[in-house]
Amino acid sequence: MAAILEVEDLHVAYGATRVLHGLGFTVEARGITTILGANGAGKTTTLRAVSGIVRPVGTVRFDGRRIDGRPSEDIARLGIAHVPEGRGTFVGFTVEENLRLGAYVRRDRAAVGQDLDRVYAHFPVLGERRRQAAGTLSGGEQQMLALARALMLRPRLLLLDEPSLGLAPLVVQEIFRIVRTINERDGVSVLLVEQNAALALGLADHAYLLETGRVVLAGPADEIRRNDAVRRAYLGY
């Protein structure tokens, strides 16, 4: 299978603090790759470097094209949708306005309308609250909105940052089920960053383990799950 995202020798520093030290990984086309690691390992920074929120040193190729150093609005236009940590919804705007903003770069108006219906089918609760301000939604509903907004871009690659953070287990299951559906049905590739390793390994086909800005372990998700060190440190059994 071809890789949709190839990252080589990625370095990021916030001022004098170096966060990533020569990271490398790939996301297979139509695959789900997860990056695991403790707090401060550099997971969020990795996603931010891919989507252009921070400027990395190194190579990031999307579909064979260099995208490192390009502004994030251009990267979004290429078809990479980033659901950031803390969701980044437009709180003062209605649910439907948030979704329309997600489809802002698209010119196929009729298809946007269809996608809106599809999103409401995936997330019925968003349909019920389409005229409500996003800031008034519950945490789980906001996470769904953030995911739905990203899908409105019709992305080819979805970057998910800690979608389970602060949510009830049932809501988390629901969100992961939808991610799987989107991946299987629409062929959207996914790069998932998670602290909940068990959950992430259950969804992903490939996994990378990050420690202080370096990849310390990589492989198919099944193998990583059976690794003793991972089991003890991240899965807790």
Partner 1 sequence: MAIDTFLQQVVSGLATGGIYASLALALVMIYQATEIVNFAQGEMAMFSTYVAWSMLNAGVPYWAAFLGTLVLAFLGGFLIERVIVRPVEGKPVLTLVIVCIGLLVILNSLAGWIYSYVIQPFPSPFPRAPIRVGTVVFGPHDLGVIVVTLAMLGLLYAFFRYTTLGLAMRAAAQNPGSSRLCGIRVGRMLGLGWGLAALVGAVAGLLVAPVIFLEPNMMGGILIYAFAAATLGGITSPFGAVVGGFLVGVIENLAGTYIPFIGTELKLTVALLIIVVVLLVRPTGLFGHAVVRRV
Binding site for partner 1 (CB under 8 A): 51-53, 71-73, 76-77, 81-82, 84, 88-93, 97, 100-102, 104-105, 149, 153
How many alpha carbons lie under 13 Å from residue 133 in its C-beta half-sphere?
5
CB of 101 to partner 1, least distance (A): 5
Cβ proximity to partner 1: between 97 and 205 the closer is: 97
CB of 147 to partner 1, least distance (A): 13
CB of 90 to partner 1, least distance (A): 5
Q: How many distinct helices (H) and strands (E) make up the chain?
A: 10, 10
Q: SS in 3 state form for 24-86?
A: EEEEECCCEEEEEECCCCCHHHHHHHHCCCCCCEEEEEECCEECCCCCHHHHHHHCEEEECCC
Cβ proximity to partner 1: between 36 and 144 the closer is: 144
Cβ proximity to partner 1: between 6 and 96 the closer is: 96
CB of 208 to partner 1, least distance (A): 23
Beta bridge partner(s), residue 82:
159
What is the per-residue burial (b if ≥16 Cβ within 10 Å, else e) of 81-103?
Answer: bbbbbebebbeeebbbebbeebb
Q: How far apart are CA 35 and CA 141, in angstroms?
A: 24
CB of 77 to partner 1, least distance (A): 5
| Burial group, residue 195, by CB count within 10 angstroms (0-12, 13-18, 19+) | middle
